[in-house]
A and B are shown apart, each in its own frame.
Chain A
Amino acid sequence: MPSVVEILDLVAEAEHLAATHEYRGLRSLLERLDGEVAAVDPTLPYLLAYAEYMTGDDLAAARRLERMCSDPRLERSERLYRRVLNLRAVLEIELGNLDAAHGLLTELELLARSAADVRYQAYACLNRSVAQDIAGLSMQAISSLRCAQAAFQRIGDLDSVAACTHNTAMALRHLGRYDRAEVLFTQAADYFTRKRSAERRLAAETERALCMALSGDLARAFPAAVRAYDEAADMDNGRLRTEAARVLGTIHRLTGHVQTASELLTEALEFAEANHLKLVQAEVLLELARLPGTRHPSGAPEALRGKAAEILRAMGAEARARNAEMR
């Protein structure tokens, strides 16, 4: 068993890797961790779960956090418990369980408020906005994001300010305001480029390529999406590659390259299904349903839309489910 000083050194190194967005390094540092050491400072398994999430392994992260929550030692670490709650909520959103996410965020908000913890009140607000946006309440999402952004500006949390910018862009894109959304995705991508956060930069650039396409500028969208797809493949990040495949597939559909679009969207669908990424799964199914003149192995366009609506409804995204059925 290492001494407390050695454990502190390990925690400091892990926190440093997380702060500098070195998620692969963080994973390899902590995956070898002895269970007893992890129990002394539960920050270590939390950071491992965070690294798993950031490198696209959502299920592993969710399972790890679930195990952590059954450890009574976590009760002693109120702040860490709030971090765990927040990450669990993020993962529930990614995995499409909006009701579970809302429950966790309410708990987080109450705990943070009672501890006068502005940061985690703002995180609760930020992540609630993501759930609102997915549920089709994009205006409410933007409103929540403004509150979160103001709080993050006050406490000087620049990464989270940039996350607010990214999420506002997502909501604006869902409202059809593609030009404005593109401006905000550019701001987020610029910030994460400066901070050398490759994963977050790529996420913003992928979404930005989709905005370009939806606003009709396919000449810019296509090379931007190809770059994002290649980079995600190089990074070996399944979630980012899935998103990039979906965006590139959409662009191929818009340019009339049906076969390539079908292949890319099928790739995205398979990963989303295997990793329980329900929102991505629904979005890809809707994209496949729009492919002209083809019949995808998963079914006819009506069946694909029905399946997407079913997934969205199960997630708690009723408005989006109705839209899916109408398209």
Chain B
Amino acid sequence: MPSFLLVLSLSDSFSELWSKLAESTGTRLRTASTMSELGVLDDACALLLAAGGAEKEVPAALDGLLRLNAPAIGVIGVESDHRLAISMIRAGADNYFALPTDLGALRGWLTEQVDLDVGSSRSALVAAEGRAQYDFSRIIGRSPAIVDALQRASRIIPTATATVLITGETGTGKELMAKAIHYNGPRASKPLLEINCSALPENLLEAELFGYEAGAFTDARTAKPGLLEVADGGTVFLDEIGDLSPSLQGKLLRVLEDKRIRRLGSVRDQPVDVRIIAATHVDLYAATLDGSFRQDLYYRLSVLPIHLPPLRERGDDVLMIASDFLERFSNQYKIPAAPFPNDVRRALLGHSWPGNVRELRNAIERAVLMGDGQVRREYLFTDLERTGYRPQAPGIIPFPAPLESIASAAARAMTEYCGGNKSEAAKALGISRRHLYVLLKKGEE
């Protein structure tokens, strides 16, 4: 519900203006010519005191308004005189605007007051958008395994604090499930942030999760809040949690148990309120048996486990999902597509889909784009041999090139990847720090 713009008019000047101002700032308007007509003030984001020739009456009016604990007050006049503006502000106004000269400034000031007032309520829009985009109906299928996963998810949604562990192969929809849980639950209007635990070296991941104080390490010139802090009130999605180092596993366990974090380099703990949704494609239980994943953290995470089955175990679901993608891409690219012919249906059911739903999606998109209205079997699967092209890693390692050039380029790339931390880069490459320096030096020659 938009808040009110209050106008107390001490003269008739600009009377046509107020409704336009309210309209342009998305507020509802209430005007009055006396203090008593104003009514309650606590539903207003700003109050305009329209002097327009009656400037002498302003100090008394301001005095009365300030006693009533009015919102931000802008005085509107016609005189563009800085001495007058200063006297108004000394008398208690927040700002003074001379019209028409200051029209833009007045609008800007009002917009700012509105933003301060309704900023938090707008976050409901995020929840609505998220719910529309990550509705459970987007997780298609009738196979017993997927129905079981959806039923488990529906039990989890109302609980705002329960930790969730989503398991499943790559491309089975773990991220989609995490987003559906967040945006359909009680934390929907708060942030959902995700981090891939396998994509960052240990020290960077720790800094990213917990934040740091200025001077905590060489490059920490200013303090930075961590992900767990920034997402306060919301959800943190930890993808590939199986790749978390033992030291970080311990720190995450403490967060889950104590609901407190400590920035790197800080001596103070601070409370955090986040739901953790973790996901992994590895068998975490097996990892606890071989000692690579802490058993206590595993049990803490797997309070509410959801397993997403691979596509090859979902029977006819593959046809339902493929038809949904067909319709979607047909609309997106404005290419009318006929239903799948029998040979395509057989191919869809017979393929093992190692990349799961993501692979199926790409296959259907490709077939729609190439098929000219008819999905053909030969377009479903990529044929890299036809082009002879193979993707290269990050594109910054020269190839083909002498081994020496490749090695020094890899050293540079890894150093950059580790944010300039040479010890970390050397560790990640499995070479000594000294060897890394030699490679970097060679690259400069």
The reply to whether A79 and B24 form a contact with Cβ atoms under 8 Å apart is no
Residues of B within 8 A of A136 (CB): 416
**Partner among B16, B231, B332, B389 whose Cβ is within 8 Å of the Cβ of A254:** B389
Q: With the chains together, A256 CA to B386 CA distance in Å?
A: 11
The reply to whether A8 and B17 form a contact with Cβ atoms under 8 Å apart is yes
The reply to whether B230 and A146 form a contact with Cβ atoms under 8 Å apart is yes
The reply to whether B362 and A153 form a contact with Cβ atoms under 8 Å apart is no
Residues of B within 8 A of A224 (CB): 369
Residues of A within 8 A of B196 (CB): 180
Residues of B within 8 A of A179 (CB): 358
Q: With the chains together, A133 CA to B366 CA distance in Å?
A: 30
Q: With the chains together, A219 CA to B378 CA distance in Å?
A: 11
Residues of B within 8 A of A254 (CB): 387, 389
Pick from B118-126, B262-270, B276-284 the stretch touching chain A. B118-126
**Partner among B23, B108, B119, B419 whose Cβ is within 8 Å of the Cβ of A140:** B419
A196 at the interface (CB under 8 A from B): no
Query: Which residues of A in the span 212-235 have a Cβ within 8 Å of any Cβ on B?
Result: 214-220, 223-224, 227
The reply to whether B379 and A219 form a contact with Cβ atoms under 8 Å apart is yes
Residues of B within 8 A of A5 (CB): 16-17, 20
Chain B 12-33 interface 0/1 with A at a Cβ cutoff of 8 Å (1 = within): 0010110011011000000000
The reply to whether A158 and B100 form a contact with Cβ atoms under 8 Å apart is no
B191 at the interface (CB under 8 A from A): yes
The reply to whether A219 and B370 form a contact with Cβ atoms under 8 Å apart is yes
The reply to whether B417 and A43 form a contact with Cβ atoms under 8 Å apart is no
The reply to whether B104 and A40 form a contact with Cβ atoms under 8 Å apart is yes
With A118-B119, A218-B389 as known contacts, state yes or no: A327 contacts B398, CB within 8 Å: yes
A11 at the interface (CB under 8 A from B): yes
Number of interface residues of A (CB under 8 A): 69
B116 at the interface (CB under 8 A from A): yes
Residues of B within 8 A of A139 (CB): 200, 204, 417, 419
Residues of B within 8 A of A215 (CB): 391
The reply to whether B391 and A11 form a contact with Cβ atoms under 8 Å apart is no
Measured CB to CB, the closest approach of chain A to B79, in angstroms, equals 15
Greatest chain B CB density within 10 A among A11, A220, A256 is at: A220
**Partner among A8, A175, A218, A323 whose Cβ is within 8 Å of the Cβ of B103:** A8
The reply to whether B112 and A117 form a contact with Cβ atoms under 8 Å apart is yes
Pick from A70-78, A96-104, A241-249 the stretch touching chain B. A70-78
Greatest chain A CB density within 10 A among B17, B20, B227, B405 is at: B20
A154 at the interface (CB under 8 A from B): yes
* Smallest CB gap from B397: residue in A: A326
A63 at the interface (CB under 8 A from B): no
The reply to whether B108 and A153 form a contact with Cβ atoms under 8 Å apart is no
Measured CB to CB, the closest approach of chain B to A159, in angstroms, equals 11
Q: With the chains together, A214 CA to B392 CA distance in Å?
A: 8
Measured CB to CB, the closest approach of chain B to A108, in angstroms, equals 15
* Smallest CB gap from A172: residue in B: B199
A4 at the interface (CB under 8 A from B): yes
The reply to whether B395 and A214 form a contact with Cβ atoms under 8 Å apart is yes
Query: Which residues of A in the span 63-92 have a Cβ within 8 Å of any Cβ on B?
Result: 73, 76-80
Q: With the chains together, A85 CA to B443 CA distance in Å?
A: 39
Residues of B within 8 A of A30 (CB): none
Greatest chain B CB density within 10 A among A78, A143, A256 is at: A143
Measured CB to CB, the closest approach of chain A to B80, in angstroms, equals 10
A-B pair number, CB within 8 angstroms = 180
Measured CB to CB, the closest approach of chain A to B236, in angstroms, equals 10
**Partner among B103, B122, B391, B398 whose Cβ is within 8 Å of the Cβ of A4:** B103
Measured CB to CB, the closest approach of chain B to A190, in angstroms, equals 8
With A176-B393, A219-B379 as known contacts, state yes or no: A15 contacts B24, CB within 8 Å: yes
A156 at the interface (CB under 8 A from B): yes
**Partner among B104, B129, B195, B333 whose Cβ is within 8 Å of the Cβ of A41:** B104
Residues of A within 8 A of B14 (CB): 4
Q: With the chains together, A77 CA to B370 CA distance in Å?
A: 53
B102 at the interface (CB under 8 A from A): yes
A7 at the interface (CB under 8 A from B): yes
The reply to whether A11 and B333 form a contact with Cβ atoms under 8 Å apart is no
**Partner among A4, A143, A149, A326 whose Cβ is within 8 Å of the Cβ of B17:** A4
With A12-B20, A118-B119, A217-B366 as known contacts, state yes or no: A326 contacts B193, CB within 8 Å: no
The reply to whether B104 and A73 form a contact with Cβ atoms under 8 Å apart is yes
With A147-B225, A217-B366, A326-B405 as known contacts, state yes or no: A4 contacts B99, CB within 8 Å: yes
A20 at the interface (CB under 8 A from B): no
The reply to whether A115 and B112 form a contact with Cβ atoms under 8 Å apart is yes
A155 at the interface (CB under 8 A from B): yes
Measured CB to CB, the closest approach of chain A to B115, in angstroms, equals 7
A110 at the interface (CB under 8 A from B): no
A33 at the interface (CB under 8 A from B): no
Q: With the chains together, A283 CA to B332 CA distance in Å?
A: 29
* Smallest CB gap from B15: residue in A: A5
A177 at the interface (CB under 8 A from B): yes
A319 at the interface (CB under 8 A from B): yes
The reply to whether B111 and A216 form a contact with Cβ atoms under 8 Å apart is no
Residues of A within 8 A of B193 (CB): 146, 149-150
B365 at the interface (CB under 8 A from A): yes
The reply to whether A216 and B384 form a contact with Cβ atoms under 8 Å apart is yes
The reply to whether A156 and B382 form a contact with Cβ atoms under 8 Å apart is no
The reply to whether B365 and A155 form a contact with Cβ atoms under 8 Å apart is no
Q: With the chains together, A323 CA to B413 CA distance in Å?
A: 9
B412 at the interface (CB under 8 A from A): yes
The reply to whether A220 and B366 form a contact with Cβ atoms under 8 Å apart is yes
Greatest chain B CB density within 10 A among A42, A119, A176, A319 is at: A176
Binding site for B on A (CB under 8 A): 3-5, 7-9, 11-12, 15, 40-43, 73, 76-80, 115-119, 136-137, 139-140, 143, 146-147, 149-150, 153-158, 161, 174-180, 183, 190-191, 193, 214-220, 223-224, 227, 254-256, 319, 322-323, 326-327
The 8 closest A-B pairs by CB, nearest first: A156-B122, A176-B394, A41-B104, A76-B105, A79-B108, A150-B191, A223-B369, A156-B125
A-B contact pairs, 21 of them (CB 8 A): A4-B17, A4-B103, A5-B20, A8-B103, A11-B24, A12-B24, A40-B101, A73-B101, A78-B109, A79-B111, A147-B230, A149-B191, A154-B190, A155-B122, A156-B122, A156-B125, A156-B126, A219-B366, A255-B387, A327-B395, A327-B396
Given A218-B387, A219-B382, output 7 extra A-B contacts at Cβ < 8 Å.
Answer: A8-B107, A11-B24, A11-B107, A155-B122, A161-B126, A179-B358, A216-B382
Binding site for A on B (CB under 8 A): 14, 16-17, 20-21, 23-24, 99-105, 107-109, 111-112, 115-116, 119-126, 129, 133, 175, 190-193, 195-196, 199-200, 204, 208, 224-225, 227, 230-231, 234, 332-333, 358, 362, 365-366, 369-370, 379, 382-384, 387-391, 393-396, 398, 405, 409, 412-413, 416-417, 419, 443
